[in-house]
Structure 1
């Protein structure tokens, strides 16, 4: 009797196919960001800011959502600010902390990117559903 933790050839194939599908989506995303004049990391930061379920988005929040060290997130936000995509305002609760807001320019850019990304996810949904079922 085989150990239930033992991986089969089918398990390896499913994992490989799933990672391939994820990579294909990331390539799609990277190209989309580049076509709009931003890096994939800048796109992800804009999406993290816009997608936050709370209004007080800080550099620390961006660092957490992008798995960055705080100083790297600060540099990223600095570049977004230079591009006119993000503004900082003092936190009403802690004057040492800056809160981030998307500019109108960023909102337009992010809307365009998000529409195409959502369309791609909808297109990939059947394949991803099948791949996830194979991992069970």
Structure 2
């Protein structure tokens, strides 16, 4: 049996979605100012932040981006043309492709991620409030 939400819970959820949308809009504008799309930034971030290594395979990136593999291949190609990533043959299986950041990609993702970290620190209280109110 579902417990109906109270007005205060709707307000908390609405504010959370508002703050989340503001953060996403901030991210979109920031990446655009750096000459890339938000999706290109997310690709760079997923490569840099892949658990246990500094590269990822196409299928792994598709999962992390929640996107179709053929779309991720196109995204990788666009980033490759910008000099942000490079493809390398797999170390264990030469048929597999590893996607690595270039030096330019490393520098760009670090700059943008730092600004995201600063923005998220400002939102810390909002996230805590949401969790507290919905318990």
TM-score grouping bracket, smaller chain normalisation? over 0.9
**Cα-to-partner distance string for 1:29-53 (whole Å, 9 max, x where unaligned):** 1111001011000000000000011
| 2:103 paired with 1:119 | no
The corresponding residue for 2:129 is 130
Taking the TM superposition and a 5 Å limit, the aligned residue runs for 1:93-104 are 93-104=92-103
Q: Is the 8 A contact 1:21 1:128 kept in 2?
A: no
For the residue of structure 1 that corresponds to 2:88, the secondary structure is: strand
- Stretches of structure 1 lacking an aligned partner (at least 5 in a row): none
Following TM superposition, the consecutive aligned residue runs of length 4 or more in structure 1 with deviations greater than 4 angstroms are none
How many residue pairs get aligned? The number is 134
**Cα-to-partner distance string for 1:57-109 (whole Å, 9 max, x where unaligned):** 11111100110011001000011111100001000211111101100101111
For the residue of structure 2 that corresponds to 1:101, the secondary structure is: strand
User: How much is the aligned-residue C-alpha RMSD, in angstroms?
Assistant: 1.3
Of 47-56 and 18-27, more deviation after overlay is shown by 47-56
TM-score, normalised to structure 2, is 0.93
TM-score, normalised to structure 1, is 0.93
- Stretches of structure 2 lacking an aligned partner (at least 5 in a row): none
The corresponding residue for 2:40 is 42
